[in-house]
């Protein structure tokens, strides 16, 4: 993932920081995982998976 893009992106729910982990973006505050498909982050809260 492009470092500049990662600096700009924020969680759409809480506007918090995201961490890049294994082809997904993690919001630790909301405990959500946003997937990345074809190098495009899917930043929709309805599409995010809750962390266990």
- Check pLDDT > 90 for residue 30: yes
Residue 19's CATH number: 2.20.25.10
Query: Which structural domain, as residue segments, surrounds residue 41?
Result: 3-50
Number of H helices, E strands in the chain: 1, 5
* pLDDT (mean) for 2-8: 90
Is the CB of residue 20 less than 8 Å from the CB of residue 1? yes
| DSSP H helical ranges for the chain | 3-8
Q: Three-class SS string for the chain?
A: CCHHHHHHCCCCCCCCCCEECCCEEEECCCCEEEEEECCEECCCHHHCEECC
Higher pLDDT, 44 or 52: 44
Q: How confident is the model at residue 52 (pLDDT cuts 50, 70, 90)?
A: confident
Query: What's the total number of domains in the chain?
Result: 1
pTM equals: 0.89
* pLDDT (mean) for 23-28: 96
């Amino acid at each position: 993932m492009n470092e500049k893009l990662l600096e700009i992106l924020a969680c759409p729910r809480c506007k918090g920081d995201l961490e890049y982990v294994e082809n997904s973006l993690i919001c630790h505050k909301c405990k959500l995982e946003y997937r990345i498909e074809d190098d495009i982050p899917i930043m929709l809260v309805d599409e995010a998976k809750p962390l266990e």
